[in-house]
Amino acid sequence: MRRVLLACGFALFAMPLSAAERVLSVGGAVTEIIYALDAQEKLVARDTTSTYPAKAKELPDVGYMRALSPEGVLSVAPDLILAVEGAGPPETLAVLQEADIALISVPEGYDGAAIAKKITLIGAALGREAEAETLARQVQNDLDHAAEQAQTRAGAAPKKVMFVLSTQGGRIMAAGQNTGADAIISLAGGVNAITGVQGYRPLSDEAILAAAPDVILMMDRQGDHAQGDGDLLAMPAIAATPAGQSGAILRMGGLYLLGFGPRTAVAVADLSAALYGR
């Protein structure tokens, strides 16, 4: 019986993983990497976060990566699941283990080495080792170059950037340290305005005023993330910050900005240019 793999290593399977013909991809960056490795012919389904490239959206959608149902996954009959770390819930993974479906958990990470590791792991699982080695090297080189250029643009006066995840209920949910947003801001030559906080946390008005961001960065998405600039700038705590006073609000696609996949170097360059000019 094949074991479900829940860590970032490999286990022995009765069937070589590269022989899998029905692959379910869970996680936007995982799906992007599969397409970048030209292995998309193996894909039979994807999760809701897998929206790039556009062709991926033609595949059946099994639901949000952290709220997968056993029925939704089993309905597409995968023989291999490539899932970003944190996918679940655990109850669903337990059912899949009982169903003897091979699963590889792809570790998250927010730098060039982490992206290269994702690519290498996925390439090995799909029998695309040579392609993965080439892609990983290219992505890491491109990211190093983009980050170096961004630091040059920023110079001695990097801008303080506050990443706002949502404004639900009139409360600002922002990114602290050890988040993808924190990492992308740094790579683009900025400084995270929110310090002393881990993960994504709601902020008090006092904390926002103390952070004094020069720029507010948000995802360009529907729902809370689609709140108009005028509504955001009308919030008293935001209005009193340097970003509020200058109207400095930047919006970028969520997967593009925070996916940490093959396009991250371009995202860093774009964010850096938006902060400091070309």
Specify the CATH number for 154-276; select among 3.50.50.60, 3.60.20.10, 3.40.630.30, 3.40.50.1980.
3.40.50.1980
Report the distance separating Cα 228 and Cα 45, nearest Å.
34
Q: What is the CATH number of domain 17-108?
A: 3.40.50.1980
Of the candidates 77, 129, 80, 86, the one whose C-alpha atom is nearest the C-alpha of residue 104 is 80
**Residue 98 is encoded by which pair of tokens?**
């009982």
Reported pTM: 0.91
Q: How many helices (H) and strands (E) does the chain have?
A: 12, 10
- Length of the chain measured in residues: 278
The confidence score (pLDDT) of residue 222 equals: 56
CA angle 141, 112, 203 (to 5 degrees): 135
Measured on CA atoms in the order 87, 91, 93, 96, is the torsion positive or negative? negative
Reported as a single tens digit per residue, the pLDDT across 159-191 is 999 999 999 888 999 999 999 999 999 999 999
217-234 residue pLDDT tens: 999 865 444 578 888 999
Domains 17-108 and 154-276 share a fold: yes
Give the Cα separation of 186 and 15 in Å (integer): 42
Runs of H (alpha helix) within the chain:
28-36, 70-74, 90-98, 112-125, 129-154, 180-187, 205-211, 229-233, 236-239, 242-246, 254-258, 264-276
Give the residue extent of every domain in the chain.
Answer: 17-108, 154-276
User: pLDDT of the chain along its 278 residues, tens only?
Assistant: 444 444 443 333 444 566 789 999 999 999 999 999 999 999 999 999 999 999 999 999 999 999 999 999 999 999 999 999 999 999 999 999 889 899 999 999 999 999 999 999 999 999 999 999 999 999 999 999 999 999 999 999 999 999 999 998 889 999 999 999 999 999 999 999 999 999 999 999 999 999 999 999 999 865 444 578 888 999 999 999 999 999 999 999 999 999 999 999 999 999 999 999 97
Per-residue CA distances from 144 to 41, 64, 265 (Å) = 31, 32, 8
Amino acid found at 97 = Q
First to last CA, the chain: 56
Do 272 and 264 touch, CB atoms closer than 8 A? no
